[in-house]
Amino acid sequence: MKKINPNTDLRQEILKTIQSSTHPLNKNQIAKMLGLKADQRIILKQVLKELYSTGNVVRGKRRRLTAETPAGTANIGDIIAVEVIDVDEDGDFLTHPLEWPEDQKMPLIRLVNLRPSYTQGRSGLEITSKLMSRIVHQTPNEWHATVIRRLEKDQKTHLGIFSPNRHGGYLSSCNRKDTFNGAHIHHEQAKGLKPGDVIKFTTNNADGLKIIARVGNIEDHHIFSELAIASLDIPYEFSPEAVKIAKAGKVPPLGKRTDYRSVDFVTIDGEDARDFDDAVWAEADSDPANLNGWRALVAIADVSHYVQIGSVLDKEAYQRGNSVYFPDRVVPMLPEGLSNNLCSLRPNEDRACMVIEMTITAAGKLKSHRVQRGLMRSKARLTYLQVQKALDGQLDDTTEVLKDTVIKPLFGVYQSLLKARAERGTLDLEVPERQILFDDNGNVKDIVIRERFDSHKLIEELMIAANVAAAKTLIAKNWPCLFRVHDKPDTMRVENLRQLLKQLKLGLAKSTSPEPRHFNALLHEVQNHKYKRMINDLVLRSQSQAKYNPENVGHFGLSLAHYAHFTSPIRRYSDLIVHRCLISALNLGDDGYNDKPDNLDKLGEHISQTERVAAQAERQVSDRYAISFVIDKVGETMNTVIVGANRVGLFVEIPASGAQGFIPKHNLGSDFQFDEQNHRFIGRRSNTIYQLGDKVDALLVEADVITNSLSFRLANFNSADKSAKTYKDKPKSARDYAIARREKKAKENRQTPENKALLSAPTPPEKPLVKAGRKTPGRTRKTTSPRKR
pLDDT in tens, 675-685: 887 888 998 88
Sequence letter at residue 39: D
In sequence order, what are the beta bridge partners of 135?
145
Position with higher pLDDT, 778 vs 232: 232
Mean pLDDT within 345-362: 96
Question: What's the distance, Cα to Cα, between the start and end of the chain in Å?
Answer: 58
Q: In this model, does residue 732 exceed pLDDT 50?
A: no
- Strands 79-87, 130-138: pairing kind: antiparallel
In sequence order, what are the beta bridge partners of 704?
709
Q: In this model, does residue 252 exceed pLDDT 50?
A: yes
Geometric angle at alpha carbon 219, from 215 and 222, rounded to 5°: 60
Mean pLDDT within 39-50: 76
Average pLDDT, the chain: 84
Classify burial at 424, counting beta carbons within 10 Å of its beta carbon; exposed 0-12, middle 13-18, buried 19 or more: middle
What is the reported pLDDT for 733? 45
Q: In this model, does residue 355 exceed pLDDT 80?
A: yes
Cα 278 to Cα 556: distance, rounded to the nearest angstrom:
25
Mean pLDDT within 146-164: 79
Q: Of the candidates 705, 646, 713, 641, which has an alpha carbon nearest to the alpha carbon of residue 677?
A: 646
For the beta carbon of residue 642, count every other beta carbon within 10 angstroms. 24
Sequence letter at residue 697: D
Cα 339 to Cα 346: distance, rounded to the nearest angstrom:
11
For 86-114, what is each residue's pLDDT tens digit?
877 667 888 888 878 766 778 888 888 88
Q: Of the candidates 644, 747, 761, 624, which has an alpha carbon nearest to the alpha carbon of residue 692?
A: 644
Position with higher pLDDT, 133 vs 762: 133
E strands, 174-248, in order? 182-186, 197-204, 208-217
Cα 604 to Cα 267: distance, rounded to the nearest angstrom:
29
Sequence letter at residue 279: A
In sequence order, what are the beta bridge partners of 94?
86, 110
What is the reported pLDDT for 774? 44
**Dihedral sign computed on CA atoms, order 576, 579, 583, 585:** positive
Q: How many CA atoms lie within 13 Å of 142's alpha carbon, on the beta-carbon side? A: 13
Mean pLDDT within 541-562: 93
* Cβ–Cβ under 8 Å, residues 448 and 437: yes
DSSP structure class, residue 69 = P
Q: In this model, does residue 82 exceed pLDDT 60?
A: yes
Mean pLDDT within 724-744: 48
Cα 447 to Cα 282: distance, rounded to the nearest angstrom:
36
Mean pLDDT within 580-605: 92
Q: Note the Cα 361 to chain centre separation in Å.
A: 38
Mean pLDDT within 238-264: 94
Contacts (Cβ under 8 Å, ≥6 apart) of 195:
162, 163, 164
E strands, 315-379, in order? 324-325, 330-331, 350-360, 366-377
Mean pLDDT within 8-17: 74
* Cβ–Cβ under 8 Å, residues 196 and 218: yes
H helix or E strand, kind and range, residue 390: helix 384-391
Q: Of the candidates 238, 374, 202, 370, which has an alpha carbon nearest to the alpha carbon of residue 313?
A: 238
- Strands 366-377, 695-704: pairing kind: unpaired
What is the reported pLDDT for 781? 43
Contacts (Cβ under 8 Å, ≥6 apart) of 706:
161, 172, 174, 218
Q: Of the candidates 653, 648, 704, 701, which has an alpha carbon nearest to the alpha carbon of residue 676?
A: 648
For 365-406, what is each residue's pLDDT tens digit?
999 999 999 999 999 999 999 999 999 999 999 999 999 999
Q: In this model, does residue 570 exceed pLDDT 50?
A: yes
Mean pLDDT within 153-178: 81
Mean pLDDT within 594-606: 91
Mean pLDDT within 266-276: 89
Look at 223-232, 403-412, 448-457, 499-508 and tell me which has the smallest mean pLDDT.
Answer: 499-508
Q: Of the candidates 498, 461, 754, 474, which has an alpha carbon nearest to the alpha carbon of residue 597?
A: 474
* Cβ–Cβ under 8 Å, residues 542 and 582: no
* Cβ–Cβ under 8 Å, residues 134 and 148: yes
For 209-220, what is each residue's pLDDT tens digit?
888 888 989 888
Cα 371 to Cα 481: distance, rounded to the nearest angstrom:
15
What is the reported pLDDT for 268? 95
Radius of gyration of the chain (CA): 33
Mean pLDDT within 647-667: 90
In sequence order, what are the beta bridge partners of 660?
653
Q: In this model, does residue 296 exceed pLDDT 80?
A: yes
Q: What is the dihedral angle through the alpha carbons of 602, 608, 612, 618, rounded to the nearest 10 degrees?
A: 120
Contacts (Cβ under 8 Å, ≥6 apart) of 282:
294, 295, 296, 297, 406, 409, 410, 412, 413
Position with higher pLDDT, 764 vs 514: 514
Ranges of H-type helices in 425-528: 454-476, 491-503, 516-525
For the beta carbon of residue 594, count every other beta carbon within 10 angstroms. 8
Q: In this model, does residue 271 exceed pLDDT 50?
A: yes
What is the reported pLDDT for 274? 80
Mean pLDDT within 479-486: 96
